[in-house]
Structure 1
Amino acid sequence: MSTIALNVNRRAVQAVAEPRTSLADFVRDKLDLTGTHLGCEHGVCGACTVLLDGVPARSCITYAVACEGADITTIEGLDDDDITTELRAAFTREHALQCGYCTPGMLVSACDLVLRLTAADERQIRIGLSGNLCRCTGYVGIVRAVQSVIEARRARNIAPEPDGGRKVLGPAGSARSGREGASQPPRPIEAEPAYASEAAAAPAEIPDFTPANRLEREFALAHPPKDVFAMFDDIAAVAACLPGASLTATPSPGRVEGAIRIKLGPIAAIFLGTARIERDANNLSGRIVGIGYDRRSRSATQGEIRYQLAPIEDGAATRVDLSIGYTLTGMLAQVGRPGLVRDLAERLIAEFAANLDRRMSGASLGQGAATELQGLSMISGVLRARVARWLGRLVKRDGAA
């Protein structure tokens, strides 16, 4: 057992603890400061975050004996803090908490961000809070709350402290070491540049790949196959018919560079990518193979679209057979359930077919082609369709009974 002397919430504390006792257990069990929550106990979730010499630290993986002589601030020590008072009000206003288990650690980290950041930059805030996990809110309200407090304080000419009181760059608590020249001055969080300015050059070749998922769909157009095939050769026109799609460079006969914007509730993504185009005029078929990346969500995708045109109605109309293969990795892959993706693909193809038919008929697209793929509105339609199918099944069962 060791006797530890340190300052907790501006009060001198001396207590006995085993060498293996974590700082989180020390403040909770020895000092009854239970506002510091324990979650993963691996330093991952951030629920146990406290300020150690003014620096956010994971108390669950910090030994209490290593904090001899340090200044510790738990969430209880921020009761009268001006920044935390504003943050609590903002969290309530922006609905930034639900179960509240992560909130103490979230507030501690947010307080440090409000103190240091010069502007309410969403990217910097998300980076600063990336070590605090929440399973309830989706983070949107939390980010907005922090942004609103930073904006309000800067509007009142309250200047930031870029180093947040830190004296050296190193592990939390190293500021009290007093060693001159032990490390370099702290580096402020830098805003991430826009993807377009930092994107890697488009690859010279688009490789083939084996898709993780594949969908088979078809739709009909009231135009002859040769006209539809010629339309598919106009890449700019086709992109204008696809909701959320746009070109970022002038297409060449076998290659196209573009983007597709997706918004699914609070999740927004812009996939920038490159694709190669293959066409077979003899068989009225084609293939598009592409790769794309969304910097914001760190999600990447590979996609392949194969199409085959077949005459129907004595050649006056065309059936378009589609085979869509894709592989998605990153954050968006976690929300891409196969059943939902299939239903969304059907809605997307239906909108694309309707826009294509209007284009070929010489009508204006009007509101037909959205500048952003609004997944939320599509999901509403998908859910309505599913409910209708379920009700239909129930009616059939009742009738059979």
Structure 2
Amino acid sequence: MNTVELTVNKRGLQRTIEPRTSLADMMRDTLDLTGTHLGCEHGVCGACTILVDGVPTRSCITFAAACDGADITTIEGLDDDEIATELRAAFTREHALQCGYCTPGMLVSARDLVLRLPEPDEKAIRIGMSGNLCRCTGYVGIVRAVKSVIEARRARDIASEPNAGRTVLGPAGSGHKACTVSQQLASTRPATTETMPAIVPLAIPDFTPSTVMKQSFTVAHPPAKVFALFDDITTVASCLPGATLTGTPRPERVEGAIKVKIGPISANFNGAARVERDDANLAGRIIGIGNDQRSRSTTQGEIRYRLLPENDGAATRVELAIGYSLTGMLAQVGRSGLVRDLAARLVGEFAANLDRRLSGDTITATASAAGLNGSSLVLGLLRDRAARLLQRFTGRGDAA
């Protein structure tokens, strides 16, 4: 059991709870604040949104024990709040609610937008409210209501609050803790059309991959020659479709990017990696981390390789173990079977480029500049899967 001390709706309290208790369950079951609604219980629908240290928070996926010392405000605590009062009137006026189940979470998120947005921008409002789902209204009335409150307050010369008073970044409930250098918010800057650089840690951390795939290929060159080429980071990167390097590569830190496009889905992962080599065993490891800002996806990857002689040392078999973990929007479309097939074809292209480079041929930068076009890879693997399916139904071992 855990003892937590919270300030809930301006009232200090202490409760003993089980470690697994969510903040939403504590509000509803322990404190009888049932205005906090539970919908999906996966942090998706937004019905359970409350304020933790002034920040809208999904209470269904937040452990109450993690918020020890925090200031909590539920919808009941906003009865006398000026902005919430104006929003309730606007919701009624614009017919922005029907069954009302999502409304408490909607009001909490809308209040945050009224505080932060300097102008009643409809697109910004829709983006800001996109984390709150409603099955009734179609959102038109909700957007109009929020927009009207922002317009009215700005007309009364009530200025927006940059970051709505936030002083730190971090997990929900962390606002009452001491601010570290990494948590400090940067000063507000005008939005531009340029892509902001991804934030990559200075030290590339170790990690345990969620998925590991094993691949191998053979090149007609001796292991010593292949291993020497693997020490040339720039050359190895030129063999990988979609990869580019930025700055001068060093074993402890290699910065670069890889572009991927599969149909309508495109990503540009900017990141860094470190390279390790085992000269005695002709083996090595490349471990890295990257971010795609557009999809807000992050990936960590690890490639372990080992070189084995073949044909009395005239050729080399390259054994690879490819591990990765993917979070964010792209993780929702990254089915393991599809990723595995794409990786196999990517390794095939890498092997062909590597063999050409070892043979003295020059590899153009066309593929890297255009990015890794997964569409052709997908079409190829779909053909292969169709052939295997045909083989299963016809019972033939040589289906075309």
For the superposition of Structure 1 and Structure 2, which TM-score range results when normalised by the shorter chain? 0.5 to 0.7
Residue of 83, 89, 112 corresponding to 1:66: 89
AA in 2 matched with 1:355 = N
Q: What is the distance in 2 between the residues matched to 1:349 and 1:289?
A: 17
The equivalent of 1:194 in structure 2 is 194
Q: 1:280 to 1:242 in 2, by over 3 A?
A: same
Q: 1:324 aligns with which of 295, 304, 322?
A: 322
Distance 1:116 1:131, change over 3 A: closer
Matches of 1:65 and 1:203, distance apart in 2: 43
Does the aligned pair in 1 maintain the 2:284–2:304 contact within 8 Å?
Answer: yes
Distance, in Å, in 2 between the alignment partners of 1:361 and 1:229 is 14
Displacement of 1:336: 0.2
Q: Structure 1: 5+ residue runs without aligned partners?
A: 1-39, 45-60, 74-114, 118-123, 134-165
The 1:191/1:363 distance shift into structure 2, 3 A limit, reads same
Q: Does residue 380 in structure 1 map to residue 355 in structure 2?
A: no
Q: Distance in 1 between matches of 2:281 and 2:153?
A: 77
Partner of 2:285: 287
CA distance 1:65–1:193, shift in 2 (3 Å)? closer
Q: Is the counterpart of residue 356 in structure 1 residue 354 in structure 2?
A: yes
Paired with 1:317 and 1:178, the residues of 2 have a C-alpha distance of: 74
* Deviation by residue 1:98-130 (Cα, 9 ceiling, x = unmatched): xxxxxxxxxxxxxxxxx988xxxxxx9698557
Among 257, 267, 273, the residue aligned to 1:269? 267
Mind listing any 5+ residue stretches in structure 2 that lack a counterpart? 1-44, 50-83, 97-118, 132-143, 163-188
Question: For the Cα contact (< 8 Å) 1:240–1:369, is it kept in 2?
Answer: no
Mapped partners of 1:179, 1:205: distance in 2 = 45
Alignment of 1:2-401 (within 5 A): 66-67=89-90, 70=93, 131=129, 171-174=146-149, 181=156, 183-184=158-159, 191-192=191-192, 194-196=194-196, 198-200=197-199, 202-366=200-364, 369-371=367-369, 372-396=371-395
Which deviations, in whole Å up to 9, do the C-alpha atoms of 1:225-269 show, x marking residues without a partner?
A: 000000101110110110000101111133211100111212211
Letter in 2 for 1:184: A
Displacement of 1:333 in angstroms is 0.5
In the aligned structure 1, how far is the partner of 2:297 from the partner of 2:244? Answer: 19
Matched-pair contact (CA < 8 Å) for 1:70–1:173 = no
State the structure with more CA Rg.
1
Aligned to 1:20: none
Superimposed CA distance per residue, residues 67-97 of structure 1 (whole angstroms, 9 cap, x where no aligned partner): 4995779xxxxxxxxxxxxxxxxxxxxxxxx
SS at match of 1:383: helix
- Is contact 2:291-2:297 (8 Å) kept? yes
User: How many positions carry a matched residue from both structures?
Assistant: 262
Structure 2: distance between partners of 1:279 and 1:398: 42
> Cα 1:183–1:221, aligned 2, differ >3 Å: closer, same or farther?
same
- Is this contact kept in 2: 1:291–1:301, CA < 8 A? yes
- TM-score normalised over the length of structure 2: 0.56
Identity of aligned residues (%): 51
